[in-house]
Amino acid sequence: MIGFLEICVFLFVVLHILRIYFADCDAVLHFYERFAKPPDKRLRGKVIWITGASSGIGEHLAYKLTEFGCKLVLSVRRKDELDRVKNQCMSKFCSKLF
């Protein structure tokens, strides 16, 4: 006969599996985020294309992914903004190397 504790543990496991299944990200990245493991090892060397990288979320995402060692493809509407973000990313990358 199955006890109350076994049912609770089973429901807990099933709910966590469903939570990971319906997450809006890679299951491994979700696991790393959940258990405080940085995703830099998984993202290092990946090519990531960011549209709207001249301001807001796209700009800050470019800076963060540069810290993780990703190769970036940046799309913007204005060339001067692209140069600014590119120079910032390059300075962050170079400062990390030295």
SS3 49: strand
Q: Indicate the range of 29-33, 34-38, 73-77, 85-89 predicted with least confidence.
A: 34-38
Instruction: Compute the distance between CA of residue 1 and CA of residue 74 in angstroms, rounded to an integer.
Output: 59
Angle, CA of 57, 58 and 63, to the nearest 5°: 95
Give 67-96 pLDDT, tens digit per residue.
Answer: 888 999 999 999 999 999 999 999 987 776
Q: What is the pTM of this model?
A: 0.62
Predicted confidence (pLDDT) at residue 97 exceeds the cutoff of 90: no
